[in-house]
């Protein structure tokens, strides 16, 4: 009996190897086909994707990162051309993603763990240019103070890239606000607007979100949006969650289980954002380093899936 137990333990140690940052079971990876992870337009999503991808790589999976904007990536996941989209915002997904999920073409893999929020932000110095902020009425009264040569006498609101959503355009039209909608081209363009405003002491109001590293760099305020506007247009606490191609659970069942378990703390994402966007570290290297130093966080997910 003792020999049988020792043999069983020996076979187990051969089937499951944990060491040098890698975890492999005899049946994993179940396929050599690559698991393709979408890389969208913002740093927080890159962090989540690279951490998850590195964990899967350490399990032995072939992982590929594919740069794709939000809308095309959702369509690609529904078709099985991409397999994972790892930071979805409930406040910023339009009608098409819920529709694809209802049709069973995209699977909800559970909450991400990061706590997100959105709103209309202004640099701290703008309060001096528009007394009464952050009150909504004061903001409307100051419209001309937010104008430029292109928008005068209307103010200017810098919004998310149009591909993300156009809700500020719709809000301005619906409420006949004395402002013009100006979509930014990217996350980087939004940050550049903020940096320029702080440097020049110029007026700015913009749509933005947290967590984000730039909120550590600059002191900012947030417009007190009316409750009905917030509820109608999704400016409430966001649910951040993961989605995947439903075929993952059949093709790579262990990876599927790990991605369901996978979560990231807000603080971790914020720290990595600062390292990448403020200190200039390479995103993939910074995430790989975090995975290597935090095995106690993710190895239980892996071991449970084996």
* One domain, residues 61 and 208: no
What is the number of structural domains in the chain? 2
14 within domain boundaries: no
* One domain, residues 201 and 134: yes
Domain-ending residue, one of 233, 252, 278: 233
pLDDT grade for 23, boundaries at 50, 70 and 90 = low
Domain-ending residue, one of 189, 218, 233: 233
pLDDT grade for 25, boundaries at 50, 70 and 90 = low
| pLDDT at residue 12, rounded to an integer | 39
- CATH at 217: 3.40.190.100
Computed over every residue of the chain, the mean pLDDT equals 90
* One domain, residues 39 and 88: yes
| Helices 43-58/295-305 angle, 10° precision | 60
Rounded distance, CA 292 to CA 171, Å?
A: 45
* One domain, residues 111 and 121: no
16 within domain boundaries: no
Do 120 and 130 form a contact (C-beta atoms < 8 A)? no
- CATH at 249: 3.40.190.10
| pLDDT at residue 7, rounded to an integer | 37
253 within domain boundaries: yes
Rounded distance, CA 17 to CA 58, Å?
A: 11
Please identify which residue in the block is written with the tokens 């020792």: 6
What pTM was computed for the model?
0.76
Domain-ending residue, one of 183, 200, 233: 233
* One domain, residues 36 and 53: yes
151 within domain boundaries: yes
Q: Are strands 63-67 and 35-39 parallel, antiparallel or unpaired?
A: parallel
User: What is the CB-side half-sphere exposure of residue 292 using CA atoms within 13 A?
Assistant: 7
* One domain, residues 83 and 135: no
| pLDDT at residue 213, rounded to an integer | 85
Task: Please tell me whether residue 173 adopts helix, strand or coil conformation.
Answer: helix
Mean pLDDT of 221-239: 91
* One domain, residues 171 and 106: no
- Considering only residues 225 and 237, tell me which one the structure prediction assigns the higher pLDDT: 225
Start-to-end CA span in the chain (Å): 26
Task: Please tell me whether residue 108 adopts helix, strand or coil conformation.
Answer: strand
- Considering only residues 231 and 48, tell me which one the structure prediction assigns the higher pLDDT: 48
73 within domain boundaries: yes
* One domain, residues 131 and 177: yes
169 within domain boundaries: yes
pLDDT at 106 over 80: yes
Domain residues for 156?
117-233
Categorise residue 163: left if φ over 0, alpha if ψ from -120 to 50, beta otherwise: alpha
Enter the DSSP assignment of 275.
Answer: I
7 within domain boundaries: no
Distances in whole angstroms, Cα of residue 189 to Cα of each of 167, 184, 186: 18, 6, 5
25 within domain boundaries: no
* One domain, residues 182 and 147: yes
* One domain, residues 213 and 223: yes
* One domain, residues 217 and 246: no
pLDDT in tens, 109-140: 999 999 989 999 999 999 999 999 999 999 99
* One domain, residues 218 and 246: no
What six digits make up the tokens of 138? 């004061």
| pLDDT at residue 216, rounded to an integer | 82
- Considering only residues 278 and 224, tell me which one the structure prediction assigns the higher pLDDT: 224
């Amino acid at each position: 009996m003792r020999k049988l137990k020792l043999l069983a333990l020996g076979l187990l140690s051969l089937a499951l190897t944990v060491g040098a940052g890698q975890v492999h079971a005899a049946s994993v990876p179940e396929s050599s086909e690559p698991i393709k992870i979408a890389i969208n337009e913002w740093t927080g999503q890159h962090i989540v994707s690279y951490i998850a991808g590195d964990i899967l790589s350490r399990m032995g999976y072939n992982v590929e990162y594919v740069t794709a904007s939000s809308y095309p990536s959702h369509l690609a996941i529904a078709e099985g051309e991409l397999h994972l989209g790892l930071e979805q915002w409930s406040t910023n997904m339009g009608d098409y993603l819920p529709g694809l999920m209802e049709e069973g073409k995209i699977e909800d893999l559970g909450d991400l763990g990061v706590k997100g929020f959105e709103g209309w932000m202004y640099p701290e110095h703008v309060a001096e240019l528009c007394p009464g902020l952050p009150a909504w009425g004061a903001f409307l009264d100051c419209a001309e103070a937010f104008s430029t040569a292109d928008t005068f006498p209307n103010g200017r609101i810098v919004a998310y890239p149009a591909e993300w959503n156009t809700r500020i355009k719709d809000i301005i039209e619906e409420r006949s606000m004395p402002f013009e909608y100006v979509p930014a081209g990217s996350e980087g363009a939004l940050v550049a607007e903020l940096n320029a405003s702080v440097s020049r002491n110029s007026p700015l109001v913009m749509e933005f979100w947290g967590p984000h590293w730039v909120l550590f760099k600059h002191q900012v305020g947030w417009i007190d949006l009316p409750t009905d506007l917030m509820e109608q247009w999704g400016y409430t606490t966001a649910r951040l969650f993961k989605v995947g191609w439903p075929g993952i659970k059949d093709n790579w069942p262990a990876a599927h289980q790990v991605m369901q378990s996978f979560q990231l703390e807000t603080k971790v994402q914020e720290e990595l954002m600062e390292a990448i966007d403020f200190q200039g570290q390479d995103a993939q290297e910074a995430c790989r380093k975090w995975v290597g130093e935090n095995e106690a966080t993710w190895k239980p997910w892996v071991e449970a899936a084996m």
